[in-house]
Amino acid sequence: MTANLQNPIFQDDAKAREWLEARVWPNGPVCPHCGATGDDVTKLAGSKHRPGLYQCAACREQFTVTVKTVFERSKIPLSKWMAALFLLTASKKGVSAHQVHRSLGISYKSAWFMMHRLREAMRSGGLAPMGGPGKTVEIDETASGRIEGAPKRARRAMGGFGRTVLTLVERGGSARSFHVEGTTLATLMPIIRANVHRDSQVMTDAASWYKFLPAYVDVASHDMVEHGDDEYVRYEGERVISTNTVEGYYSIFKRGMKGVYQHCGEKHLHRYLAEFDFRYNTRVALGYNDLMRAEALAVGIKGKRLTYRRPRGIAQPRAN
């Protein structure tokens, strides 16, 4: 099994379906309607059935591997979905819908919609708190979008409103990013409280709102680096006080948003964040290669569907 373009799953829809079924159903087909497995599920072979169709004896429904996933009701061949999936997971800064449109020979609208569905599959929700005893969680926020490029202090002077991103990164672990409405305590603190294990060591810069963090969030310790005094790392015995990890995350995020996704609308920002979090959380340093990352995304297609409401007066790419 290779993750390069020679792989038959990028040309052959039957092979693509086989590959996807093995990831979504590692223990054999599962009815997405009622959860039945084993002898209750029969593959419907033969030319009068569409490929990959199964019959469930328990609920009498039929299904394929894409039912109740982000691929549901797509007219795009599965081999092209697989190519898009591998492109998106293997590109460190992301891949534009224009690139996918050109590379796969599909319309721009289809490519745009595919990429958003794949981002939805990258989204993880309801996770356990980050950090824990002896672990460090770095927290920072950044502006994304038009005021990008202004010095951080200038953006903060503007109140930090607009497209603000809050990111929590566990050192040597995963990242979680949120699109937030500015940097008020009422906005930031509940997210930090809900996502950081109380035994964690927390590190931030010295922005005014973080000074109040210990009053709102119960954690083992909270240290701040004084970026204003040109301090980036401070050593206290064994402890390394810095926010360099979360800033490393932002450097990839910003290069991607600037270089690949220049026209990200505010209402889609959370999906781009899911994409950058996903790749960070399946990065090489955590033992993932391109194939494992693609497999992790294939597993994530389950139980997620994406529908778009069309705001009045704004033309949106249609589902294909």
- Rounded CA-CA distance 9/16 in Å is 4
**Residue span binding Zn ion (CB under 5 A) among the ranges 56-64, 95-103, 195-203, 249-257:** 56-64
CB 29, min distance to Zn ion, A: 10
- Rounded CA-CA distance 160/95 in Å is 28
CB 42, min distance to Zn ion, A: 11
Comparing CB distances to Zn ion, the nearer of 58 and 147 is 58
CB 303, min distance to Zn ion, A: 15
52 backbone φψ class: left, alpha, beta (φ>0; ψ -120 to 50): left
Parallel/antiparallel/unpaired status of strands 201-205 and 136-143: parallel
Helices 108-122 and 290-299, axial angle in degrees (round to 10)? 90
CB 52, min distance to Zn ion, A: 16
Is residue 68 at the binding interface for Zn ion, with CB under 5 A as the rule? no
Comparing CB distances to Zn ion, the nearer of 39 and 230 is 39
| Among residues 3, 44, 53, 58, the one that binds Zn ion under rule CB under 5 A | 58
Task: Yes or no: say if 27 and 68 are a contact pair by the CB < 8 Å rule.
Answer: no
What's the longest Cα–Cα distance across the chain?
73
The closest alpha carbon to 298, from 312, 271, 278, belongs to: 278
CB 186, min distance to Zn ion, A: 45
Comparing CB distances to Zn ion, the nearer of 37 and 107 is 37
Residue type present at position 302: K
Written as six digits, the tokens of 287 are 């033992």
Comparing CB distances to Zn ion, the nearer of 63 and 280 is 63
Task: Yes or no: say if 295 and 90 are a contact pair by the CB < 8 Å rule.
Answer: no
Q: List binders of Zn ion among 16-45 (CB under 5 A).
A: 31, 33-34, 36
- Which secondary structure element, helix H or strand E, spans residue 222, and what is its range? strand 221-225
Comparing CB distances to Zn ion, the nearer of 40 and 231 is 40
- Rounded CA-CA distance 22/25 in Å is 5
Is residue 292 at the binding interface for Zn ion, with CB under 5 A as the rule? no
CB 26, min distance to Zn ion, A: 19
Comparing CB distances to Zn ion, the nearer of 62 and 244 is 62
Alpha helices in 174-230 (DSSP H): 185-195, 208-211, 213-216
- Rounded CA-CA distance 235/241 in Å is 6
Comparing CB distances to Zn ion, the nearer of 214 and 303 is 303
| Among residues 16, 20, 30, 56, the one that binds Zn ion under rule CB under 5 A | 56
Task: Yes or no: say if 117 and 320 are a contact pair by the CB < 8 Å rule.
Answer: no
- Using CB under 5 A as the binding criterion, the count of chain residues that bind Zn ion stands at 7
| Among residues 59, 157, 286, 299, the one that binds Zn ion under rule CB under 5 A | 59
Comparing CB distances to Zn ion, the nearer of 35 and 159 is 35
- Site residues, Zn ion (CB under 5 A): 31, 33-34, 36, 56, 58-59
